[in-house]
Amino acid sequence: MSVVNIKIEGIPYQVEEGLTILEAAKSCGYEIPSLCAFNHGECNSGSCRVCLVEATGARGLVASCVYPVAEGMEIRINTPAANEARKRSVELLLSNHSQNCQQCDKNGQCELLYVAQLTGARENAFKGEHSETFIDTLAPGLVRDTSKCILCGRCIARCENAHGLGILGYENRGFRTIVSPAENRSFADSPCIQCGQCVSVCPTGALMEHSEIDKVDEAFRQGKHVIVQAAPAVRAALGEEFGYPIGTPVTGKMIAALRRLGFERVYDVNFGADLTIMEEGTELLNRLNNNGVLPMITSCSPGWVNYAEYNYGDLLPHLSSCKSPHQMQGAVIKSYWAEAHGIRPEDIFVVSVMPCVAKKYEKEREQEKVDGIPDVDAVITTRELARMIRRSGMLFRRLPEEEWDQDIMGDYSGAGVIFGVTGGVMEAALRTVYFKLTGKEKDRITFEEVRGHDAGIREASIDINGTVVRVAIASGMRSARVLLDEIREGKSPYQFIEIMGCPGGCINGGGQPYVRPVFLPNEEDNILDTYKEKRAKALYSEDERQTVRQSHNNPQIIELYEKYLGEPNSHKAHKLLHTSYAARERFS
């Protein structure tokens, strides 16, 4: 590694060659006020001018996020000129910014407000005309408010880097510039997959999830039987909203909080994950044994399903027909559970707590209804649940550890837990497929070959009693596209593929707590590189603690089939637990 000698505030340092001034300063113990690299991991063009510093060899002040260090460079951060310039840059951003901070859901996590406090900027330093405001609330998952946008471009970069989609871009020029889908369309009228990754990196409240807390409140007011179910990835991240280190599982306290919020039953979506494996594993074996369409691709991720419908309509027969776990469980609650308790499905209101923004869209699909009744009525994100808990006055850290309700459903296996991380659905399915093909359990439960928390492609060949199953795993549509193009060209060597919409899987879903190092002072400096690993470890550790670790051994799943569904892929199971897809035009 080549190094260069620099000085910061007159103190000599050696830093890695090729770093920007911002990166070099960070490595030397300086946090230059900024709205880019060290807050979210997506770089930009330095357009906001918040991180200005003085540097020898430069003409005037330079944006430290894009200006590289050089041998002998002397950098001054704390000069009157640099301090004043950064302050003015932030004040110019504030001059065209909505000032309803008290009503903004990003309050407390707003990076613009943070740098305003650091630089001493004031909102009304510059007064004048504001750009025309556009507010898009039509999409089920996302809300866009241009009055809060600072044109940093982070959302543009994340959409491109994660998915290669380019849904968002700059529209118009000069004072009229906005960030939006093409032609300033609504997210609802664009080929957006509703994943929410843009929300995860937005420094202000310009991009947010479409909150459904009011729907839940109304269901309580109407006296509905309000039942909640929480996804596995939620327990691995919710604690971050209440000061716990990243990767701390808070399952018991989350259950206690949900119960105190008034939900009639508190269930784990891991039951639905086990149910998904029973249906999906059977579907895969049927395809393998009956010359079905291969490779079969998982269908748990609604962001991925949206992408497939927009971009690969010809490959939709490759998708498993299985609904996602929370939709399956919602359907079972409104049928099996409802009949057992003598309650009409119409009087039940199912709330799913999800790490995913796209689930808000998924529940609205006509294909996710049974006899005209939606499987799930409301989806709230991990962040929304945290808001509800804080609103209630509960002190989360003082809550007791409680257990899931065990009323007909509630048991789950370790296989269900790992659904929340990329590769987890594949591993859970292989545990059951192995048993179905061999009639015995695998000596070593885990399939390390398919594990990993990073985006990209992983592949493995699994020998199951002489039958070799070739599998691949991808998360993020940029990676998935490689596998899909292979299928389209007739070159795919795989029988089974897992695809997750968000890079790293549900642990990194668009509805998870924001990972902002500036607001996480007790985390290590490389948290942007390790937070997915830490959340994934929380799920794998829970899997290891379970007595039952294969979906087919979940006693309540066995009972559900014996008493109600008959067998996996039965007619009744298809009506309740399976869905269909349809190709969609990229622009309507």
Domain-located, residue 467: yes
**Last residue in a domain, options 175, 208, 241:** 208
Per-residue pLDDT tens over the stretch 393-449: 999 999 999 999 988 888 888 878 888 888 888 888 888 888 888 888 776 766 767
pLDDT of residue 453: 64
Same domain for 448 and 321: yes
Residue of 575, 160, 106, 90 lying closest to 336 (CA atoms): 575
Determine contact, residues 113/93, Cβ cutoff 8 Å.
no
Within this chain, do residues 256 and 195 fall inside the same structural domain, yes or no?
Answer: no
Is 427 domain-assigned? Answer: yes
Q: Which two tokens stand for residue 320?
A: 């498993």
Quick one: pLDDT at residue 367? 95
> Looking at residues 108-137, what average pLDDT do you find?
89
In the chain, the number of structural domains is 3
Q: By the 8 A CB rule, do 329 and 267 touch?
A: yes
Report d(CA 228, CA 234) in Å as an integer.
13
Which has more confidence, 415 or 343? 343
Claim to verify: residue 79 and residue 101 sit in the same structural domain:
no
Report CA Rg, the chain.
Answer: 25
- Within this chain, do residues 277 and 383 fall inside the same structural domain, yes or no? yes
Q: Tokens for 166, please give them.
A: 């380019």
At which of 36, 64, 85 does a domain end? 85
Q: Region 525-532: what's the mean pLDDT?
A: 82
| 347 in the same domain as 288 | yes
Whether pLDDT at 586 is above 50 = yes
CB burial readout 314-350, b (16+ within 10 A) else e: ebbebbbbbbbbbbbbbbbbbbbbbeeeeeebeebbb
CA distances from 49 to 8, 44, 93 (A): 20, 11, 10
When mean pLDDT is compared across 85-99, 427-441, 486-500, 571-585, the lowest value belongs to 427-441
**Does one domain contain both 49 and 170?**
no
Report the alpha-carbon distance of residue 241 to residue 227 in Å, rounded. 23
User: Domain boundary at 208, 234, 251, which?
Assistant: 208
CATH of the domain at 362: 3.40.950.10
Structural domain contains residue 584: no
542 vs 510 pLDDT, higher one: 510
Answer for the pair 385, 378: CB distance below 8 angstroms, yes or no: no
Q: By C-alpha distance, which of 144, 48, 52, 53 is closest to 96?
A: 48
Closest CA to 69 of 29, 1, 32, 14: 14
Alpha-carbon dihedral angle through residues 414, 419, 421, 426, given to the nearest 10 degrees: 100
> What is the DSSP-derived secondary structure letter of residue 486?
H
Please give the Cα distance from 213 to 18 (Å, whole number).
47
Say whether both 153 and 228 belong to one domain.
no
| Contact criterion met (CB below 8 Å) for 170 and 178 | yes
Same structural domain, 280 and 403: yes
Dist CA 382 CA 6 (whole Å): 44
Which residue's structure tokens are 């989350």?
254
* pTM, to two decimals: 0.93
* Size (the chain), residues: 588
Amino acid at 410: G
Contact call for residues 425 and 550 (beta carbons, < 8 A)? no
Q: How far apart are CA 470 and CA 459, in angstroms?
A: 7
Is 316 a domain residue?
yes
Percent of the chain clearing pLDDT 90 (strictly above): 70
pLDDT mean across residues, the chain: 91
- Domain annotation covers residue 443: yes
The pLDDT score that the predictor gives to residue 340 is 95
- For residue 506, being part of any structural domain is answered with yes
Q: How confident is the model at residue 42 (pLDDT cuts 50, 70, 90)?
A: low
pLDDT, average across residues 114-125 = 88
Range of the domain at 14: 3-85
For residue 195, what is the domain's CATH number? 3.30.70.20
The CATH number of residue 43's host domain is 3.10.20.740
- DSSP-derived pairing of the beta strands 348-354 and 456-464: unpaired
Nearest to 424 by CA among 413, 415, 432: 415
Is 582 within the bounds of a domain? no
Per-residue pLDDT at 588 exceeds 50: no
Which uninterrupted H or E stretch holds 497?
A: strand 496-500
Q: What is the mean pLDDT of residues 212-234?
A: 97
Q: Taking the mean position of all CA atoms in its chain, how far away is CA 365? A: 20
